[in-house]
Amino acid sequence: MKKSNSILTLALLASISFSLIACANKKSTDHGNGVHDHSAMNHKAEDEISDVSVVETSENKSISQLIDQYLVIKNALVQDDARAAASAGQKLAEAASSIDLNTFEASKQSEIKEILEVVKEHGEHIAKSEIAHQREHFEGMAKDFMDLLAITGTDRTLYQQYCPMYDKGKGGSWLSDSQEIKNPLFGSKMLTCGSVKETISMK
């Protein structure tokens, strides 16, 4: 008897709290579309980075945090650690939105802004996904990251590495701070697939 009472009370509470939650949620609807207008599009970095094996850029420390978190994600994925990758993904997204665009030349700002928006998007997805999806987003931002380094410069030497077997043979790239290949796109399944394609270093 008591039991059925408490079940009823529970059901009641649940339905009330549910309707309250639903009401509260409604208010936050239709705001966060994440869409911004970019009337002036900058196509500069859209040009492919050529196949040169060494790219020298200027030194820049303002994106250090971004590179740090990128490498934390990379190392986590090497070790098949989705949880560590997720928390670094969150930090990457935060770092991407906290970078002050005014520290860069005015002509470069719109391009950098677009790259950071994409990096933030990838970081947010890495923060909330299972590992295969994390790897997809991690691979997806490699090119954006390299474009960014080409514009802003880097604070350390990085190596672009490439494994042709990723994504059913379509291939995939990532950046590493070490020349040694430890594949974050496959992790323990194929730890050594890949080779260094490019060295990004300071002048």
Partner 1 sequence: MKKWLKLSLWIVLIVLVGIQFVPVQRNEIEPVTNADFIEHYESPVVIGNIIRASCYDCHSNQTKYPWYSNVQPIGFLLQNHISEGKSELNLSEFGLLSNRMKRTKLKSILSQIDNDKMPMPSYLFLHSEAKLDSLKKTLLVSYFDSILVDIDR
Backbone φ, ψ for residue 189 (5° rounding): -65, -35
Looking at residue 114, its amino acid is E
Strand order in the sheet with 195-202: 54-57, 195-202, 158-163, 172-176
* Listed residue (145, 149, 101, 147) closest to 123, CA to CA: 145
Residue 157 CB, shortest distance to partner 1, in Å, is 25
Choice between 85 and 182, CB closer to partner 1: 85
Q: Rounded CA gap, 88 and 111, in Å? A: 24
Choice between 5 and 102, CB closer to partner 1: 5
Choice between 19 and 179, CB closer to partner 1: 19
Choice between 124 and 155, CB closer to partner 1: 124
Residue 179 CB, shortest distance to partner 1, in Å, is 28
Residue 24 CB, shortest distance to partner 1, in Å, is 10
Contact residues for partner 1, defined by CB under 8 A: 1, 4-5, 8-9, 11-12, 15-16, 18-19, 22-23, 25-26, 28-30, 32-38, 41, 43, 46, 114-115, 117-118, 121-122, 125, 136, 140, 144
DSSP 81-143: -HHHHHHHHHHHHHHHHH--GGGS-HHHHHHHHHHHHHHHHHHHHHHTS-HHHHHHHHHHTHH
Q: Please give the structure tokens belonging to residue 38.
A: 């970019």
Choice between 29 and 102, CB closer to partner 1: 29
Residue 1 CB, shortest distance to partner 1, in Å, is 5
